[in-house]
Amino acid sequence: MTDFGTKKGGYTQMKGFRQKAEYALNRVRFLTKQRGVINTCKFIYSRYLYFFKYRINLAGVMTPQELNIQNKGACNYEPIAHYTFNRMLKNINFCWHESTFVDFGCGKGAAILLATRYNFKRYIGVELSPLLVDDCRKNIQKFIGNRVLDYKIVHCNAADYLIEDDVNVFYFFNPFAPSVLKSVLDNIELSLIKRHRKIIILYCNGVDLSLILDRGYKIVYSEDVDPITRYSCGNYALGN
């Protein structure tokens, strides 16, 4: 009976492995058909392997329900591809090293980790999910090791976050519904009234780009189709 049970368990385990392997193979076929071989390799590397040496796992898409977020304005969690992020910042003429970077809907911290390459003065993450806030803080500590980094992760609704006077780079990866984005834009404008300064809005997968354009911001960088991620909307940088 024991041997039979072991074989049955092994068969079930093998069946589960085969199903996962078949899913992975079908996924690669789909990505290759959609993106081509080179961009598929870049997507897989960026999504699953780029931060592997730091023992950081940012992969996967998580719904608000999976994150126990009841807020109707929340969108899925998904990490930004490092190719997308770097391509955008390299093509914008701005003094990153004199700037403060804030990521609205920072998730597990992918954009903040990537932003450290550009030596911002300070980094801020704003996140509604307590699970992601905890993961983000752990990932940043793993990434920086013994280095000193001026950063903070704020657990709150983005609409309630009071923008500090030195923040001038605002990053969004389609993190929430239009109603929340409007509130954040209102808060940015209030901050600019208190202290006028030149700012940059980085907007990836810009589903609600028109809301930002309606405020008078001008596009300084645009990419209508991301060749690697192939999101439904493009990537944009806007300035005042």
Residue 172 lies in a domain: yes
Average confidence (pLDDT) over 130-134: 94
Instruction: Please tell me the distance from the alpha carbon of residue 61 to that of residue 53, in angstroms, as a whole number.
Output: 21
Domain membership of residue 20 (yes or no) is no
Domain contains 13: no
CATH number at 174 reads 3.40.50.150
Q: Give me the domain span that covers residue 122.
A: 82-239
DSSP, collapsed to helix, strand or coil, labels residue 172 as strand
**CA 60 and chain centroid, separation:** 11
φ/ψ of 193, rounded to 5, equals: -70, -40
Does a structural domain hold residue 37?
A: no
pLDDT over 70, % of the chain: 90
> How many structural domains is the chain composed of?
1
pLDDT above 60 (res 189): yes
- pTM (two decimals): 0.83
Residue 67 located in a structural domain: no
pLDDT tens string 11-35? 555 567 777 677 667 766 766 776 7
CA-to-CA separations, 72 to 4, 179, 181, in angstroms, rounded: 50, 10, 13
Residue 23 resides in a domain:
no
Residue 27 lies in a domain: no
* 93-103 pLDDT tens trace: 999 999 999 99
Residue 215 belongs to a domain:
yes
Instruction: Please give the pLDDT value at position 9.
Output: 58
The mean pLDDT value of the chain amounts to 88
